[in-house]
Amino acid sequence: MDIISTTHTDIEYADSLALQQQAFDLGVEAKKEGKSVQHRLFFNEHRPVITLGRHAKESNVLFSEAFLAQQGVSLFHISRGGDATYHGPGQWTIYPVFDLEELGMGVREFVESLEEVAIRILAMYGLQGHRLPGASGVWMHVDSPMPRKVAAIGIHCSRYITMHGMAFNVNTDPQAFHWINPCGFTDKGVTSLHLEVGHELSMETLRDRFEEVFSEVFGRKIIKY
């Protein structure tokens, strides 16, 4: 089954979640009926938002919801794993709605595959991404006193259908993460591809490269929609 890729920029999180939820619900319903599930890949560049996973600690959001709203930052409690994270301009938040059973992989392999996508993207720019034990996502500067995350990962899965996914900092200003303890950590930081290469990058070019790498890692053709 091919993967249909859709891009939304300057999108409110509620609208993004509704699109993703619709695709997820259709996938779950198809599985119940023994039908094939259409793989979907959503590339979203959100308006500023903080999301909290199922087991997130409220204390990792450092400001009140009312104050955040005044700053133009919305707050959502969602079904993915992981703690608090930020999405906003300059970041590709990538949501695969995939049927893992059709892909022949389990949840752990799926998460590792998402990490592999981010690691290969970094390698295209001569950079090395790392996994850290006990900390999902892709990290840089792991030998320094303050490892820095460039890609955060948090998913939800039901009947082998996935939703949520990966947030990759392209041109994201790490200062945007000052609203939270990113992913619940106080001893680790955040970086972006922009900071690592020393110049701003084309979001469209990064999306196209992500599509290429997703196709390689998951062995499926990408169709833009």
DSSP string, 75-110: EEE-SSSSSEEEE-TTEEEEEEE-BHHHHT--HHHH
Mean pLDDT, range 141-147, rounded to an integer? 88
pLDDT in tens, 68-77: 888 888 988 8
Residue 82 annotated as lining a ligand binding site: yes
Which residues neighbour 148 within 8 Å (Cβ) at sequence distance 6 or greater?
139, 140, 141, 174, 188, 189, 190, 191
Contacts of 199 (CB under 8 A, 6+ apart): none
pLDDT of residue 175: 79
Residues 136-163: b if buried by 16+ CB within 10 A, e if exposed: bbbbbbeeeeebbbbbbbbbbbeebbbb
Q: Which parts of the chain are beta strand (E)? A: 3-11, 39-46, 49-52, 74-77, 84-87, 91-97, 130-132, 135-140, 148-158, 161-169, 189-190, 222-224
Q: State residue 93's pLDDT score.
A: 97
Q: Is 86 marked as binding a ligand?
A: yes
pLDDT-derived band at 63, boundaries 50, 70, 90: confident
pLDDT of residue 18: 96
Name the average pLDDT for the chain: 91
Of 58-67, 82-91, 113-122, 168-177, highest mean pLDDT: 113-122
At residue 217, does pLDDT exceed 80?
A: yes
pLDDT attached to residue 1: 85
28-37, 66-75, 205-214: lowest mean pLDDT where?
66-75
Higher pLDDT, 14 or 178: 14
Segment 184-193 shows an average pLDDT of 78
Asked which of 19-23, 38-42, 72-76, 159-163 is least confident by mean pLDDT, the reply is 72-76
Question: Is there a binding annotation on residue 83?
Answer: yes
| Amino acid identity at 45 | E
Structural domain boundaries in the chain: 3-224
Write the pLDDT tens digit of every residue in 170-186.
Answer: 999 877 878 777 665 65
**Is 15 annotated to bind ligand?**
no
Asked whether 42 and 19 are in contact (CB, 8 A), the reply is yes
pLDDT band at residue 22, thresholds of 50, 70 and 90? very high
Instruction: Considering the candidates 183, 193, 206, 213, report the single residue annotated as catalytic.
Output: 183
- Is 157 part of the annotated catalytic residue set? no
Token digits of residue 173: 């200003």
Model confidence at 187, in pLDDT bands (50, 70, 90)? low
What pLDDT was estimated at residue 28? 95
Q: Which CATH number is 3-224 given?
A: 3.30.930.10
Is 88 annotated in a binding site? The answer is no
DSSP 37: P
Residue entry with tokens 């892909």: 103
CA 211 to chain centre: 14
Q: Which of 95, 84, 99, 82 is nearest to 27 (CA)?
A: 99
Q: What is the per-residue pLDDT for 9? A: 96
Q: Is 112 exposed, middle or buried (0-12, 13-18, 19+ CB in 10 A)?
A: middle
Q: Record the tokens describing residue 140, joined without a space.
A: 């840089």
